[in-house]
Amino acid sequence: MRQQWFDDARFGLFVHFGIYSVAARHEWVQNYERITDADYRPYFDHFDPDRFDAAQIARTAKEAGMGYVVLTTKHHDGFCLWDSKLTDFTSVDACGRDLVREYVGALRAEGLKVGLYHSLIDWHHPDFTVDWVHPRRDDPNAGELNTGRDMARYRAYLHGQVRELLTEYGQIDYLFFDFTYPEHKDGWAGKGPEDWAASELLAMCRELQPDMLVNDRLGIPADFVTPEQYQPTAPLTVGGVPQVWEACQTLNGSWGYHRDNMDQKSPTLLVQMLADSVSMDGNMLLNIGPDGRGAIAPRDARTLDEIGQWMLLHRDAIVGAGHADFTPPREGVYTRRGDRLYLHLFSWPLGFVHLPDLGDKVSFARLLNDGSWLKTTVSDPEQQASHMTPAGEAAGTLTVHLPVRRPDVLMPVIELTLKGL
Ligand code: GLC
């Protein structure tokens, strides 16, 4: 039952923030541009998150209908957002603030579950060996760079930092490790679970925070799996066993603030993705990358606000809902919560929507946005002959009659009360 709150919440906010937000061109900028530590340093020296307002982030998540938030404590560049005693590459050193402490306090004040993201990868640590994702991989002397680097020392650092996070900040509900890449590539080794001493690390998580959910990116199975930037097409299983899963999604393809990236997803697409995930028993973790001053970018705030307006009216079709064992019509997907079946309409058909096999199973149908009753009829195979009226549906089909005008919401939802439940 460790994940009951997580299954119920269905919708969370991912927050990627760090000194790469000042670079403003993707959180992988150091890797993409092979930036040296010295050339990356100005983003640390000039880190000034005067508009990072944890309370505002927590409120925004709450108003968007989310149940939890996940903040990057450290990304691949190694910069730490908390008061780590094991390095001086922290927000406390850069600007005098423990952003993780501000964040956990703000989340708890809003009654939200507290999630942390922690990078296993660390391009700043001198013992972290160069590999095919490391910014130094193409240096002329790259072959010699691993001399003297000692992953055992890095492992001690990694475990020590995770211990700090799991002991100094009260209850942590969720931990997202990132990530493991055992493949060899371009003449370099990757990194597998043994590089992190993954089993020991997971055991420490269990010991320090027994109720905390841990993701699968240590490279060993844990509590949930994490499809990234794609939508599965069926409930996820491994070897036939259903998995708890959460798709993490960006607003524009970048996790960290990327000023010039205009690939913004529409609020409509995002609520469709959310409903789609819930229809397959999954969660959606939607990301924002606060800007170089720590503020939620206006374009992202607008999107979250629109999603929040939709969630205000349609929350019951998402929170506490999951997969429904009925075949949806071609216009959308179903979610189900107890005796309620919700049809999320991705497209708005003319006049009728036909629901296979629901003929005798529904006692009431209404639009969820305004609670307005919708007439229903059960198709009668006797009338099929003429094709003059919408009677050509298979026996047992429930036809819901719709207004011509689509309700003015991002995605209309029809709520069907199932009989006898
Ligand atoms: C990735 C990326 C990364 C991002 C993460 C979110 O694996 O390395 O930058 O933080 O996924 O899921």
Q: Three-state SS for 301?
A: helix
> CB of 67 within 8 A of CB of 4?
no
- Which strands, in side-by-side order, build the sheet including 413-418? 332-337, 340-345, 413-418, 362-367
Q: For position 380, what pLDDT does the model report?
A: 73
Ligand 1 atom 3: residue of nearest CA: 255
Q: Report the separation in Å between the CA atom of 50 and the middle of ligand 1, taken as the mean of its atom positions.
A: 25
Q: For position 383, what pLDDT does the model report?
A: 64
Report d(CA 90, CA 97) in Å as an integer. 9
Whether residue 234 sits in one domain with residue 379:
no
Lookup result for tokens 């719709």: 402
Which of 252, 287, 317 is where one domain is finished? 317
Q: For position 2, what pLDDT does the model report?
A: 78
Tell me, using a 6 A CB cutoff, whether residue 246 lines ligand 1.
no
- From first CA to last CA, the distance across the chain in angstroms is 24
Which of 265, 294, 317 is where one domain is finished? 317
Residue ranges of E strands in 295-371: 332-337, 340-345, 352-355, 362-367
* DSSP-derived secondary structure letter, 384: G
Tell me, using a 6 A CB cutoff, whether residue 255 lines ligand 1.
yes
φ, ψ for residue 314, nearest 5 deg: -120, 10
Structural domain tally of the chain?
2
Taking the complete model, does pTM exceed 0.95, yes or no?
A: yes
Q: Report the separation in Å between the CA atom of 178 and the middle of ligand 1, taken as the mean of its atom positions.
A: 7
For ligand 1, pick from 179, 226, 230, 252 the residue to mutate: most ligand atoms within 8 Å of CB. 179
Q: What is the CATH number of the domain that holds 128?
A: 3.20.20.80
Whether residue 285 sits in one domain with residue 354:
no
Q: Which residues pair with residue 247 across a beta bridge?
A: 284
Q: For position 143, what pLDDT does the model report?
A: 86
| pLDDT, tens digit (0-9, with 9 covering 90-100), for 291-304 | 999 999 999 999 99
Cis peptide before 89 (omega within 30 of 0): no
Q: For position 384, what pLDDT does the model report?
A: 59
Cα R_g (the chain), whole angstroms: 24
Please state the atom number of ligand 1 nearest to the C-alpha of residue 16.
10
Q: Does the pLDDT at position 379 exceed 80?
A: no
Q: What is the CATH number of the domain that holds 413?
A: 2.60.40.1180
Whether residue 197 sits in one domain with residue 273:
yes
Whether residue 356 sits in one domain with residue 247:
no
Q: Does the pLDDT at position 1 exceed 80?
A: no
Closest by CA position to 116, among listed 164, 155, 63, 157: 164
The answer for residues whose C-beta is within 8 angstroms of residue 240's C-beta and 6 or more apart is none
| pLDDT, tens digit (0-9, with 9 covering 90-100), for 169-185 | 999 999 999 999 999 99
Which of 291, 317, 343 is where one domain is finished? 317
Q: Report the separation in Å between the CA atom of 32 and the middle of ligand 1, taken as the mean of its atom positions.
A: 14
| pLDDT, tens digit (0-9, with 9 covering 90-100), for 37-65 | 999 999 999 999 999 999 999 999 999 99
Ligand 1 atom 2: residue of nearest CA: 178
Q: Does the pLDDT at position 395 exceed 90?
A: no
DSSP string, 270-331: HHHHHHHHHHTTEEEEEEE---TTSPPPHHHHHHHHHHHHHHHHHGGGTTT-B--SSPPPTT
Q: Report the separation in Å between the CA atom of 280 and the middle of ligand 1, taken as the mean of its atom positions.
A: 23
| pLDDT, tens digit (0-9, with 9 covering 90-100), for 105-124 | 999 999 999 999 999 999 99
Whether residue 360 sits in one domain with residue 303:
no
Q: Does the pLDDT at position 392 exceed 90?
A: no
Q: Does the pLDDT at position 382 exceed 80?
A: no
Q: Does the pLDDT at position 388 exceed 80?
A: no
Query: Judging by beta carbons within 10 Å of its beta carbon (0-12, 13-18, 19+), is residue 346 exposed, middle or buried?
Result: middle
Its domain, for residue 364, covers 332-418
Least trusted range by pLDDT, from 195-204, 311-320, 383-392: 383-392
For ligand 1, pick from 17, 117, 228 the residue to mutate: most ligand atoms within 8 Å of CB. 228
Q: For position 325, what pLDDT does the model report?
A: 95
Q: Does the pLDDT at position 211 exceed 90?
A: yes
CA atoms within a 13 Å half-sphere pointing along the CA-CB vector of 56: 12
Q: Which residues pair with residue 185 across a beta bridge?
A: 188
Tell me, using a 6 A CB cutoff, whether residue 27 lines ligand 1.
yes
Q: Does the pLDDT at position 19 exceed 70?
A: yes
Closest by CA position to 43, among listed 108, 3, 8, 89: 89
Whether residue 245 sits in one domain with residue 193:
yes
Report d(CA 145, CA 181) in Å as an integer. 20
> CB of 159 within 8 A of CB of 177?
no
Residue 387's pLDDT band, with cuts at 50, 70 and 90, is low
Enumerate the H helices of 168-297 as residue ranges.
Answer: 193-196, 198-208, 267-279
